[in-house]
Structure 1
Amino acid sequence: MPSADSGEAESAIRTRGLSKRFGARLAVDGLDLLVPRGSVFGFLGPNGSGKTTTIRMLLGLAAPSGGTMSVLGRPMPKAAAEVLPRVGTLVEGPAFYPYLSGTANLLRLDAANRATDPATRKRRIGRALDRVGLGQAAGLAVHAYSLGMKQRLGLANALTSQRELLILDEPTNGLDPQGTREVRHLIGSLAEDGATVFVSSHLLSEIEQVCTHAAVVGRGRLLAQGTLASLFDDGPRRILVRTRNVPLAGDVLRSLGLAPVEESVPAPGAGTLRAPLGENAPEPERIVAALVTAGVGVRGVEVEHASLEDRFVELTGEGFDVEQ
């Protein structure tokens, strides 16, 4: 049986009962978070759900009101001096000296890190700037940068040294669609290099496209976590049936205890029925067999899993921002 210590070693981030109170307001409420090493982990929740507060506690920037936490297998904030040099971060929008160039800003930030090698400083910074698409703008003063360029510079700062863990808070904030795609590709390449990437976001599409694991939080509480596939599999499903004989197909589905709804705009050459699949619903194979036995000409069948947005609404009963 694995020991508690082995569990800590296998996780990049682990919290138990982590809480943060601001006066009478409980911003983070008993959070039990488990981020496996090597994962791209999405920390998903609407604005104001405690995501940034949690990140600040993990990095030793805010003291927890209760609970424990470990990062890279070491207790935080006790082991901050050992842990933080192994962690790259982008939190709450980066702040830079506006009249210094992008390169000059990163040179100063890297020099302040006692764990970095001065002999490789310029080469590492140049490579990081190229990696985020700022190589041509590296000599410009930061006050001339757009919001998206400043966000890229913050990402470059997180990449100036090889890191075991990257913690990125809303990394696509201020980026245009092309920049968003580039950051998505960058996150994938970081994971391929062996880093664990922890991405905090309120954008459902970003989490769906880049993450292997996710946690959903709302009002400071953990609502669900696990692999992305498990979050979908645990959610509601629907069966979609395309056929020219919609009335007969509807009768068959209702005879199986389902509640089909016909799409208002039919597909070319066929109509479409959708029906929720509850816990006691027949397996899709049995539904197809019943349709064929009844003489329904089935042109297509698809089992639709809930989207991450559907899953969030099911968990919380709240709406969700899907775009910035």
Structure 2
Amino acid sequence: MASLAIQTHGLTKVFGKQAVVGGIDLAVPSGTVFGFLGPNGSGKTTTIRMLLGLAAASSGEINLLDGVMPRDARAVLPRVGALVEGPAIYPFLSGRANLQRFDAADRHTSPSTRNARVDAALERVGLGHAATKRAHAYSLGMKQRLGIANALLAPRELLILDEPTNGLDPQGTREVRNLIKSLSDDGTTIFVSSHLLAEVEQMCSMVAVMSAGRLVAQGTLDELRSEGIARVRVTTPDHVEARRVLAGLGLDTETHGRDDVVTAELSVPGLLPETVNAALVRADVRVRGFETSGASLEDRFVALTGEGFDVAG
């Protein structure tokens, strides 16, 4: 079994009488790009703050890189890079000066290699050309990349990124995605929090889904897809009769702007697409097209959370 970079048992955070995070068991394998997905307000950032020792858990256990948090924070956190709730920067300092100051505050780093490491981090996130520009003149996307550069000032075994593509234009989003892939290829475990379904699909191999403070799903993308409900799409001029046949099989039908296309979820246990097609043919429905598809991740996540997701950046 693969080692775990992050593991929690019964992790809970209560504010007053409200459980913001309710007893979650996370398991993040080392070397993966792991997506922590959920609508805004679902408890993702609070969970991350507890993982990093920035907020005290009400109950539960946290293991980070084989250390117990917060007990082993001094030994563990130098091996972890993080961007939480957007970058905190000095607006009237340049990008390079910001990173130099952040690095100087880290007692584990060497002053003799500071300038080289700062410049390397800026280049890696695509800000080398803007290193001397004052940070208040940076776009939101540039500020986000500066925060990621701060997390990369020293070699990291684990990188925790809270909404890393927030505010980025398509080019900036692509750059961050490629950066995450290159870091993963180097062996770094990446834990990415996001409410953007499309980004998680493109970056991550495994995901956990939060909803209202609870962990409602966890596994590979393929596993989550396989748990969804397949759909059929029928193209026919006999759409009224087709709907009657599908209703007789216990299926709810939909139309999407074309009268000759009828779709339905295969929500009846054991009902196969070929059975649906045979029933249409027996009823003399002229089937001009018949397609089946697995459940989309969007459908699966809406089913799990009861809420919609942003599906594009």
Letter in 2 for 1:83: V
Candidates 143, 153, 164, aligned match of 1:171: 164
Distance in 2 (CA, whole Å) between partners of 1:206 and 1:217 is 16
Distance across 1 between alignment mates of 2:18 and 2:290: 52
Q: Distance in 2 between matches of 1:41 and 1:63?
A: 23
State the shift of 1:137 in Å: 0.4
Of 288, 306, 310, which aligns to 2:296? 306
Please name the residue that 1:4 is paired with. none
- Indicate the SS of the match to 1:121: helix
Most deviating of 244-253 and 222-231: 244-253
Match of 1:209 in 2: 202
Q: Deviations over 1:205-229 (max 9, x none)?
A: 2222211111111221111111122
Question: Residue deviations 1:93-129, cap 9 Å, x none?
Answer: 1112222211121122223323334443322222221
Give the alignment partner of residue 72 of structure 2, picking from 75, 79, 82: 79
Structure 1 residue 277 and structure 2 residue 270: aligned?
no
What's 1:61 paired with?
A: 54
Question: Following the alignment from structure 2 to structure 1, what is the Cα–Cα distance between the partners of residues 201 and 230?
Answer: 17
CA, structure 1 residues 279+212, in 2 after alignment: closer, same or farther (shift >3 Å)? farther
SS in 2 for 1:136: helix
CA contact (8 A) 1:284 1:303 kept: no
Matches within 5 A, 1:218-257: 218-243=211-236, 246=239, 253=246, 256-257=249-250
Aligned-residue RMSD, C-alpha: 2.5
Please state whether the residue corresponding to 2:177 is helix, strand or coil: helix
Report the TM-score when normalising by structure 1.
Answer: 0.86
Letter in 1 for 2:96: T
| Post-superposition offset of 1:290 | 6.0
Structure 1 partner of 2:179? 186
Q: Give how far 1:248 is off.
A: 6.4
Distance (Å, rounded) in 2 between the aligned partners of 1:164 and 1:291: 56
Report the more deviating stretch, 128-137 or 180-189: 180-189
Listed as ranges, the gaps of 5+ residues in structure 1 are 1-6
- Which amino acid is 1:211 matched to? C
SS across alignment from 1:43: strand
Which has the larger displacement, 256-265 or 56-65?
256-265
Shift of 1:291: 5.7
Q: Secondary structure at the match of 2:160?
A: strand
SS in 1 for 2:130: coil
In the alignment, structure 1 residue 199 sits paired with structure 2 residue 192: yes
Q: Which moved more, 1:60-69 or 1:105-114?
A: 105-114
Identity across aligned pairs (percent)? 58
Structure 2 equivalent of residue 21 of structure 1: 14
**Matches of 1:175 and 1:100 in 2, distance apart?**
22
Distance 2:206 2:268 in 1: 24
Q: Distance in 2 between matches of 1:285 and 1:71?
A: 49
- In the alignment, residue 303 of structure 1 is paired with which amino acid? S
Secondary structure of residue in 1 paired with 2:258: coil
Aligned partners of 1:291 and 1:298 also within 8 Å? no
Structure 2 unaligned regions, length at least 5: none
Match among 126, 140, 144 for residue 137 of structure 2? 144
Render the CA deviation track for 1:225-265: whole Å, top value 9, x for unaligned. Answer: 11122222212221123355656655664565544444432
Moved more, 253-262 or 183-192: 253-262
CA offset digits 1:166-197 (Å, max 9, x no partner): 10001111212221122122222222222111
| Residues 103 and 292 of structure 1: CA distance in aligned 2, closer, same or farther (over 3 Å) | same
The code of the aligned residue for 1:306 comes to S
| Contact 1:240–1:275 (Cα < 8 Å) also in 2 | yes
AA of the residue aligned to 2:102 = L
- Number of equivalent positions: 312
> Using the alignment, how far apart are the partners of 1:31 and 1:303 within structure 2?
32
**Which letter maps to 1:62?**
A
CA distance in 2, matches of 1:106, 1:156: 8
CA 1:27–1:263 in 2, change beyond 3 Å: closer, same or farther? closer
Report deviation, 1:285.
4.4
Asked whether the 8 Å contact 2:164–2:192 carries over to 1, the reply is: yes
Give TM-score scaled by structure 2 length: 0.89
SS at match of 1:214: strand
In the alignment, what sits opposite 1:133? 126
State the alpha-carbon separation in 1 of the partners of residues 312 and 281 from structure 2. Answer: 42
Which residue pairs with 1:3 in the alignment? none
